[in-house]
Amino acid sequence: MDWKSSIALSLCLTQSEKMSKQQLKWIVTGNFTADGAVAYLQAENRFSRQLVDALVFENKEDAEAARKAAAGREALVTDPYVTEVADADKQLDVLTARERIRSQGPSTPYGRLSPTPRVV
């Protein structure tokens, strides 16, 4: 994600938060134990790396129960927790900057960014 456009996104989020107050739902998320990547609980007790696959719970109690079950699978997933989402028009959206970055990855570049050294 381009860090400049991510700044604009951050403002859009405030608006969607206002819209979605009536439509709060829940998902279960954590990190995969093997590589620390973001994990979203999906159907059939599996975990996905994509937010779009997340199983949406209509109420917090059900989400909590699922979280508890997930917490017992420490070899697969570490420290799962429950978080709110907005589910307007079947589009799943997270509600905080933190969850947005978890779902999309770092907003800033990384890796081999430097000029490639010229081999003499």
Residues in touch with another protein (CB under 8 A): 3-4, 6-7, 10-11, 13-14, 17, 31, 33-38, 74-75, 78-79, 95-98, 101-102, 105-118
CB of 119 to another protein, least distance (A): 9
Q: Which CB, 3 or 58, lies closer to another protein?
A: 3
CB of 84 to another protein, least distance (A): 10
CB of 52 to another protein, least distance (A): 17
Give the pairing of strands 38-41 and 47-48: antiparallel
